[in-house]
């Protein structure tokens, strides 16, 4: 595994991040000291060795079945999320800032959800337009007046962050329904430990493998209080869901059954699972099914994935659900714009991590600005996920811009616009050597009684040269994310090169 | 810990498909290796008969040539009894079970399945069929070994074993049935050289030749071979051996995990075991081996149905306070 003596070529000599902020080198004027040793070790490697390790890692991922399903021409194909073996490194100081910012944001969003399902003060005070909340398809009237343990609605939160040219982290999107990707965070680390132990040695990287414990703790905390030893389960739409691997991973890490809707029944407003010995009580459910499919009696009556009657059991307090029903109204792309004001309103604080400057096209000024600057802006539909329906102005053709303009005019309230964020880059293994590629970051926060943020998160990387869209459904890959421990020497003075 | 009814069912079937795949690989292998004679055509066809696939087979092939039969049983994805289909089913079950089984069990089945799928049917000529079958058999045995060494011993383990032994007993009866049928067309050929080499083939496909020799060093007759495969208490693929295992597994499963259901399944096993232990092979053959084996297969089917009813969630009753204590 070690680097052959004397064959070392300086792999990073010709590396040029251009005008972008670089995750390994830092900004132009402020070289990142915390990653000096890692750069030094990488520079000493030879490219053939790096490629070989890359291929080993990808084969291993495939063999382990760390895959997601892609549907094409009615065939389901197992695909791995392409994995890049050059890590993204975050200093202890940067992380402390992010951790505080994410905790603040989750806290505010939970306060917001509690408010809109109770007194609706924030609407009455005119901070957020009421119709934006009450007219939102994800607002669930069934939740009005219902109390949930610790007033926590978003137990599992994924916050999409990007870093602009100045190196400032900004929130691009909140994911408070069923955020996915955390399994890759943990599996990527395992993979790095297997293929790149020499790069990691003595760096002092904060571990990520206790996510399952933390999640289970939260699931136990929110279970009905009268149950001594709560039965937790993970509810999945089934093995044909594209994120099925993650469901497996989380059930395994928590040591709880992975159930499907057909395994559960509701009797007398209590939830049971079908076991080899008849029915057994279920107290706390980490559900990976959207609200709409959760209960055909309460929501979409055609859902085959859900459990008839579960909503009533939930309302009676006989079962806990994570995330709570109705959180979709908080992670809506339109509500997103108001989160900084929300933080101010509930916590009387400034947002620690700012938003990307966003315009809501339902507002006349914003629409006009957006239409006038279409070629400079990113236009996003508020209801879509997975990077679909996005128009990136500077890269769009005339036809695409015209199409976008027509859609905006037809239904302005379905769109927001943002300036193109010059996403930071990170050195990435490509066929042509080590090249900069754009990355984002999705940290995960778990909230039961308190909030805990997994140190790191999913770094997604746009593997296609020049592209900004990092979604796995659009050709993105991922990287291991290293959050460094405080106080560990990382300037390379401690030892020589990797061995 | 509770075991989901659906998981129990998947474990049971994963074990059955792996066992079934191993048996089929053995049969194909042994045919290639030992059945090169003038009745080659008949022999390949006997595999089709053994699996009761005649109708399906002839809907897609004119003649049971070696090539057609081999392709049909190895790579035909439309055919549910092909190795590639069995592996797909084993893998689908394993996929569902990933939170429950060991990572090593899943990884091995996943890689095994993917390799088999990638293998082009055209790459497997008759000349290397034996090599490929040996590989498949060894992969199945690797699965068995990994399972033995890594599968956590709780309820799931019992359902795994139940699936394996029910399938194995069924496979042995099928092998014996079809061979007895094809190998005894008339009393005249009994005892001829050809005949005995065919019986050797039967024993070899069940890996029982050497054991048989040890028990019967001086002679081989259709009766002794059939008796050995049905009733021998030490041969791991004999029907009696398998049914005794099923009996013990069900008893222990129920007592160790205080499962309320399953009495009907146990009764059916008792019935079958009783039937197997009352008649010597000579009497069975006199009364008609084929009918007898048909009966055993039907009883195994009945046991599977009862296991499904008792444990796989077909009949669910709420667990009351007194029962759960």
Question: What secondary structure does DSSP assign to B91-126, as a single string?
Answer: HHHHHHTTTTS-HHHHHHHHHHHHHHHHS-GGG--H
Please give the residue of chain B at the shortest CA–CA distance from A258. B99
At A293 the pLDDT is 94
Angle, helices B126-150/B103-118, rounded to nearest 10 degrees: 170
Domain ranges of chain A: 1-136+153-200+333-356+421-499, 359-419
Does residue B3 register a pLDDT over 90? yes
At B184 the pLDDT is 57
* Mean pLDDT value across residues B152-178: 94
CB contact under 8 A, A259 and B99: no
Pairs of residues, one from chain A and one from chain B, whose beta carbons lie less than 8 Å apart: 83
Please give the residue of chain A at the shortest CA–CA distance from B253. A276
CATH level 2 (architecture), domain A359-419: 2-Layer Sandwich (3.30)
CA geometry: angle at A282 spanning A276 and A284, to 5°? 145
CB contact under 8 A, B99 and A248: yes
Distance, CA of A444 to CA of A183 (rounded, Å):
11
Distance, CA of A307 to CA of A262 (rounded, Å):
7
**pTM score of the predicted model:** 0.89
Residues of A in contact with B318 (CB under 8 A): 267, 272, 278-279
At A468 the pLDDT is 76
At A492 the pLDDT is 46
Please give the residue of chain A at the shortest CA–CA distance from B156. A276
At A207 the pLDDT is 96
At A77 the pLDDT is 75
At A30 the pLDDT is 72
Distance, CA of A206 to CA of B72 (rounded, Å):
54
Instruction: Identify the band that residue B231 occupies on the pLDDT scale cut at 50, 70 and 90.
Output: very high
At A310 the pLDDT is 97
At A493 the pLDDT is 45
Interface of B with A in 260-299 (CB under 8 A): 260-261
CB contact under 8 A, A276 and B323: no
B313 touches chain A (CB under 8 A): yes
CB contact under 8 A, A274 and B4: yes
Give the residue from A277, A281, A286 with the most B CB atoms within 10 Å of its CB, the best one to mutate: A277
Residue in B99, B110, B111 closest to A258 by CB: B99
Chain B nearest CA to A122, separation (Å): 43
B126 touches chain A (CB under 8 A): no
Largest CA-CA distance found in chain A, in angstroms, rounded: 74
At B44 the pLDDT is 81
At B314 the pLDDT is 64
Per DSSP, helices labelled H in A297-373 are 310-315, 333-336, 339-347, 364-372
* Mean pLDDT value across residues B219-223: 85
Do B199 and B212 meet the contact criterion of CB atoms below 8 Å apart?
Answer: no
Burial B292-320 (b: 16+ CB within 10 A, else e): bbeebeebbebbbebbbebbbbeebeebe
Query: What stretches of A47-114 adopt beta strand conformation (E)?
Result: 67-72, 75-80, 83-90
Does residue B74 register a pLDDT over 70? yes
At A390 the pLDDT is 87
Distance, CA of A224 to CA of A317 (rounded, Å):
7
CB contact under 8 A, A63 and B111: yes
Nearest to A454 by CA among A254, A272, A207: A207
Residues of B in contact with A279 (CB under 8 A): 316-319
**Weakly modelled stretches of chain A, pLDDT under 50:** 1-8, 490, 492-499
Instruction: Identify the band that residue B46 occupies on the pLDDT scale cut at 50, 70 and 90.
Output: confident
CB contact under 8 A, B6 and A63: no
CB contact under 8 A, A279 and B317: yes
At A458 the pLDDT is 97
B96 touches chain A (CB under 8 A): yes
At A473 the pLDDT is 67
Nearest to A120 by CA among A148, A145, A86, A83: A145
Distance, CA of A441 to CA of A446 (rounded, Å):
16
Say if strands A270-275 and A391-392 run parallel, antiparallel, or are unpaired.
Answer: unpaired
CB contact under 8 A, B4 and A257: yes
CB contact under 8 A, B98 and A248: yes
Q: What contacts B228, CB < 8 A, 6 or more positions away?
A: B203, B208, B211, B212, B215, B216, B235, B238
Chain B nearest CA to A244, separation (Å): 9
Q: How far is CA B102 from CA B5, B107, B253, B257, in A?
A: 19, 9, 21, 21
Please give the residue of chain A at the shortest CA–CA distance from B94. A239
ipTM of the complex: 0.87
Interface of B with A in 137-166 (CB under 8 A): 155, 159
B323 touches chain A (CB under 8 A): yes
Does residue B324 register a pLDDT over 60? no
Please give the residue of chain B at the shortest CA–CA distance from A249. B99
- Would you mind telling me the total number of residues written for chain B in this entry? 325
Chain A nearest CA to B94, separation (Å): 11
Chain A nearest CA to B325, separation (Å): 12
B107 touches chain A (CB under 8 A): yes
CB contact under 8 A, B6 and A263: yes
Say if strands A451-453 and A425-430 run parallel, antiparallel, or are unpaired.
Answer: unpaired
Give the residue from A194, A278, A279, A285 with the most B CB atoms within 10 Å of its CB, the best one to mutate: A278
**Residues β-bridged to residue A477:** A461
At A362 the pLDDT is 85
């Amino acid at each position: 595994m070690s680097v052959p003596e004397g064959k070392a070529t300086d792999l990073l000599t010709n590396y040029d991040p251009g005008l972008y902020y670089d995750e390994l080198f830092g900004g132009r004027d402020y070289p990142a000291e915390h990653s000096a040793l890692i750069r030094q070790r990488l520079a000493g490697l030879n490219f053939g060795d790096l490629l070989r390790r890359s291929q080993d890692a990808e084969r291993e991922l495939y063999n382990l079945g760390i895959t997601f399903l892609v549907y094409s021409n009615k065939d389901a194909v197992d695909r791995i999320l392409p994995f890049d073996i050059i890590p993204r490194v975050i200093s202890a100081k940067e992380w402390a800032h992010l951790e505080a910012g994410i905790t603040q944001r989750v806290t505010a969003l939970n306060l917001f959800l509690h408010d809109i399902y109770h007194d609706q003060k924030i609407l009455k005070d005119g901070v957020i337009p009421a119709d934006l909340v009450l007219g939102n398809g994800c607002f669930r009237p069934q939740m009005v007046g219902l109390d949930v343990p610790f007033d926590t609605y978003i137990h599992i939160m994924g916050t999409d962050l990007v870093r602009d040219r100045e190196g400032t982290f900004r929130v691009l999107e909140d994911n408070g329904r069923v955020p996915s990707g955390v399994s890759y965070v943990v599996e990527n680390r395992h993979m790095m430990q297997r293929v790149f132990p020499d790069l990691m040695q003595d760096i002092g990287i904060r571990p990520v493998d206790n996510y399952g414990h933390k999640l289970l703790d939260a699931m136990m905390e929110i279970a009905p209080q009268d149950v001594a030893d709560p039965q937790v389960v993970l509810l999945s739409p089934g093995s044909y869901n594209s994120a099925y691997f993650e469901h497996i991973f989380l059930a395994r890490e928590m040591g709880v059954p992975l159930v499907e809707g057909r395994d559960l029944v509701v009797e007398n407003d209590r939830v049971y699972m079908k076991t080899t010995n008849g029915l057994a009580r279920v107290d706390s459910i980490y559900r990976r099914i959207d609200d709409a499919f959760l209960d055909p009696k309460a929501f979409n009556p055609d859902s085959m994935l859900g459990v008839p009657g579960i909503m009533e059991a939930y309302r009676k307090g006989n079962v806990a659900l994570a995330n709570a029903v109705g959180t979709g109204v908080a992670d809506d792309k339109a509500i997103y714009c108001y989160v900084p004001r929300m933080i101010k309103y509930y916590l009387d604080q400034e947002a620690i991590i700012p938003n990307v400057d966003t315009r809501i096209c339902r507002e006349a000024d914003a629409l006009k600005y957006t239409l006038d600057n279409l070629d400079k802006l990113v236009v996003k539909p508020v209801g879509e996920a997975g990077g679909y329906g996005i128009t990136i102005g500077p890269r769009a053709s005339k036809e695409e811009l015209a199409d976008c303009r027509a859609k905006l005019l037809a239904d302005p309230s379905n769109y927001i616009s943002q300036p193109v964020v010059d996403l930071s880059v990170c050195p990435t293994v490509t066929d042509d050597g080590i090249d900069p590629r754009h990355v984002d970051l999705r940290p995960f926060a778990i909230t039961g009684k308190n909030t805990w943020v997994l140190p790191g998160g999913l770094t997604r990387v746009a593997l296609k040269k020049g592209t900004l869209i990092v979604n796995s459904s659009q050709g993105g890959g991922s990287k291991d994310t290293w959050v460094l421990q405080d106080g560990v020497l990382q300037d390379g003075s401690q030892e020589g090169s990797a061995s | 810990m509770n075991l989901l009814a659906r998981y129990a069912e998947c474990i049971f079937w994963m074990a059955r498909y792996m066992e079934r795949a191993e048996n089929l690989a053995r049969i194909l292998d042994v045919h290639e290796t030992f059945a090169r004679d003038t009745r080659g055509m008949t022999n390949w066809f006997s595999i089709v008969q053994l699996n009761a696939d005649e109708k399906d087979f002839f809907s897609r092939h004119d003649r049971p040539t070696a090539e057609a039969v081999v392709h049909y049983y190895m790579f035909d994805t439309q055919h549910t009894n092909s190795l590639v289909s069995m592996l797909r089913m084993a893998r689908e079950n394993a996929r569902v079970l990933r939170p429950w089984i060991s990572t090593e069990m899943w990884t091995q089945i996943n890689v095994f399945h993917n390799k088999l799928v990638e293998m082009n049917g055209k790459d497997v000529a008759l000349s290397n069929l034996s090599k490929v079958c040996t590989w498949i058999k060894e992969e199945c045995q690797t699965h068995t070994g990994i399972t033995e060494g890594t599968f956590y011993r709780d309820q799931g383990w019992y359902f795994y074993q139940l699936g394996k032994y029910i399938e194995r007993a069924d496979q042995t009866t099928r092998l014996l049935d079809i061979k007895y049928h094809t190998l005894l067309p008339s009393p005249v050929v009994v005892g001829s050289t050809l005949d005995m080499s065919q019986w050797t083939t039967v024993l070899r496909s069940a890996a029982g030749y050497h054991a048989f020799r040890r028990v019967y060093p001086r002679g081989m007759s259709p009766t002794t071979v059939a008796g050995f495969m049905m009733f021998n208490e030490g041969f791991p693929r004999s029907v009696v051996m398998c049914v005794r295992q099923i009996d013990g597994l069900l008893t222990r499963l129920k007592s160790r995990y205080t499962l309320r259901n399953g009495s009907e399944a146990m009764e059916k096993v008792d019935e079958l075991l009783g039937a197997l232990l009352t008649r010597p092979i000579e009497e069975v053959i006199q009364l008609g081996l084929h009918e007898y084996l048909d009966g055993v297969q039907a009883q195994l089917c009945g046991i599977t149905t009862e296991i499904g009813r008792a444990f796989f969630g077909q009949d669910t009753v709420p667990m009351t306070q007194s029962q759960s204590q």
